[in-house]
Amino acid sequence: MDTIASLFSFITTPVSWVIVQFHSMYGKIFGPDTGWAWGLSIVSLVILIRICLIPLFVKQIKSTRAMQTLQPEMKKIQERYKNDKQRQSEEMMKLYKETGTNPLSSCLPILAQSPFFFALYHVLNGIATGSTIGVINESLLASARKAHIFGAPLAAKFTDSAAKVDALGATLTDVRVVTAIMIVLMSASQFYTQRQLMTKNVDTTVKTPFMQQQKMLMYVFPVMFAVFGINFPVGVLVYWLTTNVWTMGQQMYVIHNNPTPGSKAQAAYLERLTKHVTTHGKARKRSERTIIKAIVAKGRDRNEFERKFINGLTKAGLAAQTDGAVVKSEGAVAVESEDGTPTTGTAAPKRQQPKRQTKSQRQSGAKSAESASSDSASGSATSLSKSDEPQDAEPQDAKPAPAAKKAQPGSGTRSKAQSGQRKGPQRPKSPSKK
């Protein structure tokens, strides 16, 4: 650790200068030799660094969400070129270039603050060994060695011997109790930060190996902090615990106000936004208008939570605009919500369904249809019988035609039809002249 810290010695002087400036301010309040003055100086250093890293944190959030969106495409590339690693890497880089994403962006805040972390470790290690470093002179070094946080010196470690702890004016029990509590808090804060990211702010509709990796890191990182924490001085533990608490609070704020689409956090946020917008009749904050604008722009690609939000506005007689504003829609009527309370909404015209008939009505209708069909059949038969009568009168000198046998149904008529004779009554033949 000392070798790594020496690599960042170029930033030791700026870090030590910042600590000294904060110490001079807090020393006037709590006393220059107290642990509160030195401890709060380290906490203030963390806050200052994390404020400067906020733009990188925003970039990290965007990169993480972009990587989550690309997971299905990345999986397809891996399956398509599973036997060609070089082509797989080329297609991955092409995908990153087309979408404008960078896998390393999610590590930027950690990479950016690591020089400050090792520089602080270098400064505190110099205090423990009694050597001046950076802008910390002999008087400040003596003051820092007297500072204790809950009975543990700033430069003491969990693994220090009793003789070394006695030289710093403390007991080994106090040092180990304080460092153990701080290591547990540091690991717990890291675990909770990763857990709320996995349980609340992950798109539940996409199941990818990336989620399994994040779940594994949720358990690996706290163990790593616990293992390395026993070799950190108390001042470094204060630094790392403060930065973990800052990260946890910063992430809670982002999840609450700008959650990942498709996550449980988005469902809770849109539910709150629906109540807020329907109560005031408009989106009052700029961040709310930005989210509404993004939802409207998605169109048919909205997820179930976003569709539910749009439907909730419609029921309340409101309409989301493309610029993120919310206005009252035309044709607002009173409707009832699920709990029975009247609200204002737009009612779509209902489709008219045919009135259902009773059994007696259906039977009477069937009888009337049968009678109508029988009447029409009799009428047609009458008209046919009239039309079958011969219109030309027979001559008087003609011999009467032999009486035709009554046609039996299905016999005579069919036989005539089969013999090729014309159907229907025919004109009698004229008598042959002898």
pLDDT tens figures, 270-287 = 999 999 888 888 888 888
Please, which pLDDT band fits residue 89 given cuts at 50, 70 and 90?
A: confident
Using the Cα atoms of residue 163, residue 164, residue 169 and residue 171 in order, give the sign of their dihedral: negative
pLDDT at 403 over 50: no
pLDDT at 237 over 50: yes
pLDDT at 342 over 50: no
Q: Note the residue count of the chain.
A: 434
Please, which pLDDT band fits residue 288 given cuts at 50, 70 and 90?
A: confident
Query: So what's the pLDDT on residue 229?
Result: 86
**CB contact set of 159 (below 8 Å; sequence gap of 6+):** 230, 231
The b-or-e profile of 351-378 (16+ CB within 10 A means b, else e) is eeeeeeeeeeeeeeeeeeeeeeeeeeee
Q: At what angle do helices 264-280 and 304-315 cross, to 10 degrees?
A: 10
Q: How many C-alpha atoms does 363 have within 13 Å on its Cβ side?
A: 3
Which one is predicted more confidently, 117 or 367? Answer: 117
Strand partners, 344: 334
pLDDT at 412 over 60: no
Which one is predicted more confidently, 217 or 417? Answer: 217
- Match 């702010």 to its residue by tokens: 201
Please, which pLDDT band fits residue 184 given cuts at 50, 70 and 90?
A: very high
Query: So what's the pLDDT on residue 83?
Result: 82
Most distant pair of Cα atoms in the chain: their distance:
166
Query: So what's the pLDDT on residue 374?
Result: 53
The C-alpha atoms of residue 176 and residue 269 are separated, in whole angstroms, by 43
Query: So what's the pLDDT on residue 408?
Result: 47
Query: So what's the pLDDT on residue 7?
Result: 65
- Match 């204060």 to its residue by tokens: 238
pLDDT at 128 over 60: yes
Query: Ramachandran region of residue 372, left (φ > 0), alpha (ψ -120 to 50) or beta?
Result: alpha
Q: Which of 218-222, 356-360, 368-372 has the lowest mean pLDDT?
A: 368-372
Structure tokens belonging to residue 423: 């159907």
The C-alpha atoms of residue 355 and residue 363 are separated, in whole angstroms, by 16
- Match 């509404």 to its residue by tokens: 292
Q: How do 342-346 and 332-336 pair as beta strands?
A: antiparallel
What is the pTM (predicted TM-score) of this model?
0.66
**CB contact set of 387 (below 8 Å; sequence gap of 6+):** none
Contacts of 54-57 with CB under 8 Å at 24 or more apart are 56/108, 56/109, 56/112, 57/109, 57/250
**CB contact set of 330 (below 8 Å; sequence gap of 6+):** 346
Using the Cα atoms of residue 189, residue 191, residue 193 and residue 196 in order, give the sign of their dihedral: negative
Structure tokens belonging to residue 422: 């014309």
Number of Cβ within a 10 Å radius of residue 235: 29
Strand partners, 345: 333
Query: So what's the pLDDT on residue 395?
Result: 42
pLDDT at 386 over 60: no
The predicted model gives 302-329 an average pLDDT of 88
- Match 């965007």 to its residue by tokens: 62
What's the mean pLDDT when you consider all of the chain?
Answer: 75
Write out the DSSP string of 63-107: HHHHHHHHHHHHHHHHHHTTT-HHHHHHHHHHHHHHHT--GGGGG
Q: What percent of the chain has pLDDT over 90?
A: 12
